Amino acid sequence: MPLVGDELTGPFTKAADAARAVAEAGRDQQDLVGQLAWALSIAVLVFPLGLVLFGWLPLRLRWMRRAASAKALAAGPAGRDLLALRALTSQPLRRLTRIDPDVAQAWRRGDDATVDALAALELRRLGLRGGR
């Protein structure tokens, strides 16, 4: 303004500078929130994935190897006998006596029903279905 001059423009210049500072602070905050969102989304993805890869997966792979070996053993008569022997040594006595009161003698005799029941018991312990 010709008559008033810098006295009138001074407050508007200061207000514009303050508005620019607020806008810059808003942009900086928006960038920070964006970076934080990326970091949190990666952390939320990496933690469960790490649990699966380093916790559950090795256990699952070990079980798959054991199950495959047990299933291959169950296919043959000698394997069934070995599974039955494992059941005799590792199963609780109450489960063994449900098969036969004298389960060890029946296994020694080679009783097919007892051997099959013991092998099925051991396969179930490994998480597989028993039977021929």
115 vs 12, which has greater pLDDT? 115
pLDDT in tens, 11-54: 788 888 899 999 999 999 999 999 999 999 999 999 999 989 99
Alpha-helical runs (H) found in the chain: 6-51, 57-75, 77-90, 93-99, 103-109, 112-125
For the entire predicted model, the pTM comes to 0.60
**Amino acid sitting at position 45:** L
DSSP conformational letter for 3:
T
pLDDT tier for residue 77 given thresholds of 50, 70 and 90? confident
